[in-house]
Chains A and B, each alone.
Chain A
Amino acid sequence: DVKVTQSSRYLVKRTGEKVFLECVQDMDHENMFWYRQDPGLGLRLIYFSYDVKMKEKGDIPEGYSVSREKKERFSLILESASTNQTSMYLCASSTLRGGYTFGSGTRLTVV
């Protein structure tokens, strides 16, 4: 069964901490994406990557960075977590032109 796996379902971090969210896909997909989901706002794209070591900013990249050292792994980094980054984070992958496969999400709370 093909899969996108996010390393944590729930995380609680303190303000100012550096936070790493990990995402791994086993489908050999070229594209990987990080979204955050907030009630009433839907999904907003933070960053995406179309190849190893390549990254593009999405609609809300401020306060975040990403890393893609291997094709199967795409990491989202919160450099200095703040309370307004409390959210559900969703990772997805796709082929060059196909629909997305999503992970189960990481619910991050910053206190």
Chain B
Amino acid sequence: GEDVEQSLFLSVREGDSSVINCTYTDSSSTYLYWYKQEPGAGLQLLTYIFSNMDMKQDQRLTVLLNKKDKHLSLRIADTQTGDSAIYFCADSFSGGYNKLIFGAGTRLAVHP
């Protein structure tokens, strides 16, 4: 079946850039999403990219999409302690009903 994979942990120093990577298998994805989950909370939509785009920038966030390699990344510039959270990549399943397939989540730890 369709699958989305992410590394589980990333540790960065405050002020550095963070890059969270994701690979997916569905070659006919329409949208790909990044969600953020803070401790004890639900998931919050951070940003998304349409499949015919290569890049999308939104303030400190940059999303890069390589359709050939089925690789998605989220770059957070000037990472702050408030960015510490779990980040989920999600792929819109082409089989209908607006189902999203989520990765396991990357836990970002920001240290001074």
Contacts and interface: CB of A to CB of B under 8 A. Distances in A.
Contact of A43 (B45, B48, B102): B102
User: How many residues of A sit at the interface, in one of the four size bands?
Assistant: 20 to 34
B98 A105 contact: no
A99 B104 CA distance: 18
A102 B43 contact: yes
B19 interface: no
User: How many residues of B sit at the interface, in one of the four size bands?
Assistant: 20 to 34
Given A56-B97, A94-B98, A99-B48, 17 more contacts: A41-B104, A42-B102, A42-B103, A42-B104, A48-B97, A48-B99, A50-B97, A90-B42, A92-B42, A92-B43, A99-B31, A99-B45, A100-B35, A100-B43, A102-B43, A102-B44, A105-B42
28 contacts: A31-B98, A40-B104, A41-B104, A42-B88, A42-B102, A42-B103, A43-B88, A48-B97, A48-B99, A50-B97, A50-B98, A90-B42, A92-B43, A94-B98, A96-B98, A97-B98, A99-B31, A99-B33, A100-B43, A100-B45, A100-B100, A101-B45, A102-B42, A103-B42, A104-B40, A104-B41, A104-B42, A105-B42
